[in-house]
Amino acid sequence: MSKYLEDKYATVPFAPARLPFFYGWIIVFLSGIGILASMPGQTLGVSAFKSHMRDALGISDVAISTAYMIGTILSSLMLTSVGKLLDRLGVRIVAPLAALIMGLTTFLLARCDKIAGYLSRGPLSSEMSSVIVMTLLFLMLRFSGQGVMTLSCRNMVVKWFNHRRGMATGIMGFLTQPGFAATPFFFYLLVESFGWRRGWEILGVVAIFIFVPVALLLFRDNPESCGLIPDGRKVADDGKGERLHKVYRQYDLPETRRTMAFWVFAGPAMMYAMFVTAVAFHIESIFGSVGLTRTTAFASFIPGCIISMILRPLFGRLADSVRLQHILRIELLGLMLMMLGVAFLGEGVMLWVYFIGGGIATALFSLLLSITWPTFFGRDHLGAISGFAMSLMVFGSAIGPWFFSKLEILSGSYRLPALISLAVTACFLIASLFTRNPQEAESEDSSQEVSTVG
């Protein structure tokens, strides 16, 4: 098998098949490292720098939110094509290139006001120059970090596992969740200790000189190119496991988009991305509007992430033995609790409603985003399918901060956008009651054909 360009070098500098253990578990760990390395491109990371860049540029909160929205939308339009490229080149080539782009972008962000000042010497106003510069830099940052690096690492794990796909993804989430919990506060301390310019530069050095070499040496796209099989060995299966894991048909992207199942699962992912990105981007304002401090705002990610860390391996194991529609419904209920917590945020009960709902939703969002597409539509076109799904999610994350900014100006609080988000999420919960895995329909068709022939 030599489907991917990287397959030619799968045994360089070492052959994973010669190791005394299944290399897929190393892939789980490495994928977790890759997702954590993408944090400068995630909203959780950007939020610690946002106010400093805004003040240095001398622009409004709406202006920088607009630049973030446009840059993220533009990046989302590129992800389907990148997914197809990932299907051809493999993660070992794509992920290091994305990390290199992200690292270089952080060095430019450290000088964003100087670049904008140089551009404003021409016919453009200072504010317009700043918005253009930040739009382009956010485009590069979100495309490489949130988009390509995350997409590549998630796809790598699900290719290395089949029957244990949920468990492997859950373990990866368990390993990465402490990093997600600590990132906002760590980046906040980084900025407070070294300044926002030096903070961006430190993150760039880590991406280019640490992560890129690690990915080039250790990443492998799939087990087959290494002379291995998913899960490391044949897994004894009962009838139920056969129904849940067997792929009867490999869907391409156009076929996938015509199924109800894709949209019922992709829609909530987009909704989650929109809401969580908006909350993270405006975390200081949201908490400040109800009298909570800046330190409390950035530390607020920790309780939910701890809850998520505990739940991920448990739900990951569960996802290997139940229909994913059930997992989706639990995620949507968690997301609705989180939205309710933001709408009525304050010290006490509602703050814990926000924590608990966010922990449940975060645990299951990442799990479903990783395992749904290969389970429902097969692996042959996984890059294209997951790339398109990621583009929808990134689009949602793009409009979230802008949506919250506009409605906060109109209504005077963040309650209205939170309640609107809650209503839309409830619609997806209802829709989940009427969807099923497309492979189940293919299984029934195959059974009918066999029965007819018999």
Model confidence pLDDT, tens digit, residues 74-114? 998 999 999 999 988 899 999 999 999 999 999 999 999 99
* Other Cβ atoms within 10 Å of 431 Cβ, number: 16
* Ramachandran region, residue 55 (left: φ > 0; alpha: ψ -120 to 50; beta: rest): alpha
Higher-confidence residue: 198 or 448? 198
Which amino acid is located at 108 in the chain? L
d(CA 69, CA 401): 7
Helix or strand run (H / E) with residue 135: helix 126-141
Span 422-426, mean pLDDT? 97
**Residues 2-11: tens digit of each pLDDT:** 455 666 788 8
Span 398-411, mean pLDDT? 88
**Residues 221-275: tens digit of each pLDDT:** 999 989 999 998 755 555 555 556 688 899 999 999 999 999 999 999 999 999 9
What is the reported pLDDT for 235?
Answer: 53
Query: What average pLDDT does the chain have?
Result: 89
* Ramachandran region, residue 227 (left: φ > 0; alpha: ψ -120 to 50; beta: rest): left
Span 353-376, mean pLDDT? 92
Nearest to 83 by CA among 431, 417, 380: 380
d(CA 118, CA 121): 6
Q: Got the DSSP string for 189-203?
A: HHHHHH-HHHHHHHH
3-state secondary structure of 88: helix
**Residues 266-299: tens digit of each pLDDT:** 999 999 999 998 998 888 889 888 888 877 787 7
Nearest to 415 by CA among 426, 404, 424: 404
Higher-confidence residue: 403 or 62? 403
3-state secondary structure of 249: coil
In a domain, 209, yes or no: yes
What is the reported pLDDT for 419?
Answer: 96
Rounded to 10 degrees, the C-alpha dihedral 37/403/82/110 comes to -40
Span 306-314, mean pLDDT? 87
Enclosing domain of residue 382: 16-231+253-433
In a domain, 338, yes or no: yes
Nearest to 50 by CA among 181, 42, 341: 42
The DSSP call for residue 28 is H
pLDDT grade for 209, boundaries at 50, 70 and 90: very high
Higher-confidence residue: 33 or 280? 33
d(CA 314, CA 170): 7
Query: How buried is 235 (Cβ within 10 angstroms: 0-12 exposed, 13-18 middle, 19+ buried)?
Result: middle
In a domain, 45, yes or no: yes
pLDDT grade for 446, boundaries at 50, 70 and 90: low
Q: Which two tokens stand for residue 414?
A: 């963040």
Q: Got the DSSP string for 378-444?
A: -STTHHHHHHHHHHHHHHHHHHHHHHHHHHHHHHSSSHHHHHHHHHHHHHHHHHGGG---HHHHHHH
What is the reported pLDDT for 91?
Answer: 93
Number of domains in the chain: 1
Place of tokens 């009867």: 248
The distance of Cα 159 from the centroid of its chain, to the nearest Å, equals 17
In a domain, 8, yes or no: no
Q: What percent of the chain has pLDDT over 70?
A: 93
Higher-confidence residue: 409 or 211? 211
Residue 395 and residue 362 in contact, taking contact as beta carbons nearer than 8 Å = no
What is the reported pLDDT for 357?
Answer: 95
Which region among 192-196, 311-315, 398-402 has the lowest average model confidence (pLDDT)? 398-402
In a domain, 207, yes or no: yes
In a domain, 443, yes or no: no
* Other Cβ atoms within 10 Å of 55 Cβ, number: 12
Sign of CA dihedral 100, 103, 107, 113: positive
In a domain, 142, yes or no: yes
What is the reported pLDDT for 444?
Answer: 64
Domain CATH code at residue 379: 1.20.1250.20
In a domain, 446, yes or no: no
What is the reported pLDDT for 5?
Answer: 63
**Residues 128-158: tens digit of each pLDDT:** 999 999 999 999 999 999 889 999 999 999 9
Higher-confidence residue: 401 or 113? 113
pLDDT grade for 1, boundaries at 50, 70 and 90: very low
